[in-house]
Amino acid sequence: MNLLVLNSGSSSIKFALFSRAPGADPVLACRGEIEGIAGGVQRFFAVDADGQALLDTSSSAQHTHAGALADLLDWLEQQRSLGDLGAVGHRVVHGGQSFTAPALIDAGVLKELAALIPLAPLHQPHNLAAIRALAVRNPAIPQVACFDTAFHHTQPAVARHFALPRDLTAAGVLRYGFHGLSYTYIAGELAAAGAGSGRVIVAHLGNGASMCALRDGRSQATSMGFTALDGLPMGTRCGALDPGVVLYLQENLAMNAAEVNELLYHRSGLLGVSAVSNDMRVLLASDDPRAAEAVALFIYRIGRELGSLAAALGGLDALVFTGGIGEHSAEVRARVCAAAKWLGVRLDEAANAAHADIISAAGSAVSVRVIPTDEERVIARSTCALLDRKTD
Ligand code: ADP
């Protein structure tokens, strides 16, 4: 059977097509993305499992998500028979308090997920739009939702609660945490390497960035909270902020909610501090002192978060880097490890420069790894596992 994985965002749809023999791990057939859906030039590209280009087209025609999805399904049908497309797995950012595992989507589930839109207004509507568009086009295909929040349901209550009045906590104003599909993949890879037990901190450093404290492969605490705005500074998001700043923006600078939202999600983080770029590669290559300041702030805040998460775990056995920056930037890893020296982290400079799997020096009290994440594979596996259980 073929299995389509979709990650539908505000301006892009990322996809991956897997094939799967009964009982076997899904095998990647191709992956790609339609970018620029919200406006401007729309680019549609796809590569095969070896990274060879299958398609790369651009058009200035305006498209809706449903239109882009129809283009994608048409193209997939041209590429290979979709007659045996057995299921579609979706990344859904928010599962709230009820969805602690992947869920087969029906009208009732869709309604519950729609009720969570206010908790993830930038992502959830687009995730659900793809589900609805697919249901219209092919109502017979089972669709499965895989949640970014679900991995963190193992956090103890003390890690989930804000110091707010109890009625707000009861109403679901909690630290949910995100990037759970990535952490699920990393926890699986650590277990497969015989390194799944003990106290591990994973730093998922991409355009969106967060960190997670795992004990024996289960989330104990994480840097993102109620929304994906909390924690580390990111490409364009501010990360943890004194809530008094929001009050100041509204009361003294007369910014309305939409303006504050735009500032904190799209004009802050590395972009806001540097006034140069949200892209770490550009910042590291820049001579502009403001770019250096942005990188320094990013590293500093990772170091602070590392201390906080290590405190939640009562120590640290392993540190894992993943995400675009974590996987590819030896410089960022070296600087984070230097900031973590007090925790017993010792880096093997040559292994780090070579992007080796293990980059800690012999004798380091903390083992340090680089593990490329694969959220699409987690969705494919979870979708297969859920459908297998349904048909047993
Ligand atoms: P997303 O959160 O959108 O999935 P990614 O995980 O792809 O993002 O990470 C994107 C980030 O990774 C960008 O800031 C990019 O500059 C950074 N990145 C990618 N390759 C490198 C590299 N070789 N050195 C430094 N940063 C890199």
Cβ-proximal residues to 339 (8 Å cutoff; 6+ apart), any chain: 299, 300, 302, 303, 306
pLDDT at 80: 67
For residues 28 and 1, give the distance between their C-alpha atoms in angstroms, rounded to a whole number. Answer: 12
What is the structure's pLDDT at 21?
A: 87
Identify the pLDDT of residue 83. Answer: 54
Any known ligand binding at 69? Answer: no
C-alpha torsion angle, residues 351, 303, 312, 375 (rounded to 10): -60
* DSSP string over 148-161: SSGGGGGS-HHHH-
Does 104 score more than 90 pLDDT? yes
Please give the angle made by the CA atoms of 250, 256 and 259, to the nearest 5 degrees.
105
User: How many angstroms separate the first and last alpha carbons of the chain?
Assistant: 17
Going by DSSP bridges, is the β-strand pair 42-48/53-59 parallel, antiparallel, or unpaired? antiparallel
Instruction: Identify the pLDDT of residue 187.
Output: 98
Mean of the pLDDT values across residues 132-161?
95
| Higher-confidence position of 307 and 390 | 307
332 CA → ligand 1 middle, Å: 11
Which residue, among 159, 264, 171, has the nearest Cα to 222 in the 3D structure? Answer: 159
Average pLDDT rounded to a whole number, residues 151-179: 97
Angle, nearest 10°, between helix axes 289-313 and 330-339?
50
> pLDDT tens for residues 170-209?
999 999 999 999 999 999 999 999 999 999 999 999 999 9
- Specify the pLDDT at position 59: 85
Per-residue pLDDT at 348 exceeds 90: yes
Contacts of 234 (CB under 8 A, 6+ apart): 207, 208, 209, 269, 270
CA distances in angstroms from 241 to 105, 119, 137, 225, 245, listed in the order given: 36, 18, 43, 12, 7
Q: Which residues line ligand 1 (CB under 6 A)?
A: 206-208, 235, 279-281, 284, 323-325, 328-329
pLDDT tens per residue, range 249-307: 999 999 999 999 999 999 999 999 999 999 999 999 999 999 999 999 999 999 999 99
Q: What percent of the chain has pLDDT over 90?
A: 84
DSSP per residue, 121-146? TTTHHHHHHHHHHHHHH-TTS-EEEE
For residues 216 and 206, the answer to whether their CB atoms sit within 8 Å is: no
Residue 110 predicted with pLDDT over 60 = yes
pLDDT value of residue 5: 97
| Domains located in the chain, CATH noted | 2-147 (3.30.420.40), 194-370 (3.30.420.40)
* Closest CA to ligand 1's atom 19: 324
What per-residue confidence (pLDDT) applies to 42? 87
The answer to whether 390 is a known ligand-binding residue is: no
- Output the average pLDDT for the chain: 94
Whether 109 has a pLDDT exceeding 90, the answer reads yes
Q: Please, which residues bridge with residue 214 across strands?
A: 200, 219
Q: What residues pair up with 91 in beta bridges, in sequence order?
A: 146
How much is the pLDDT for 282? 97
Please tell me the distance between residue 321's alpha carbon and the centre of ligand 1 in angstroms: 12
Other Cβ atoms closer than 10 A to 124 = 21
What spacing in Å lies between the alpha carbon of 205 and ligand 1's midpoint? Answer: 8
Report the alpha-carbon distance of residue 226 to residue 177 in Å, rounded: 7
3 annotated among ligand-binding-site residues: no
pLDDT at 392: 67
Best residue among 271, 277, 329 to mutate for probing ligand 1's pocket (most ligand atoms within 8 Å of CB) is 329
Please, which pLDDT band fits residue 82 given cuts at 50, 70 and 90? low
Active site residues: 148
pTM across the whole model: 0.95
Q: Contacts from 68-74 at CB under 8 Å and sequence distance 24+?
A: 68/13, 68/34, 68/37, 68/42, 68/44, 69/6, 69/8, 69/13, 69/130, 69/133, 69/134, 69/137, 70/133, 70/137, 71/34, 71/44, 72/13, 72/15, 72/34, 72/44, 73/134, 73/137
Contacts of 192 (CB under 8 A, 6+ apart): none
Residue 81: pLDDT band with limits 50, 70, 90: low
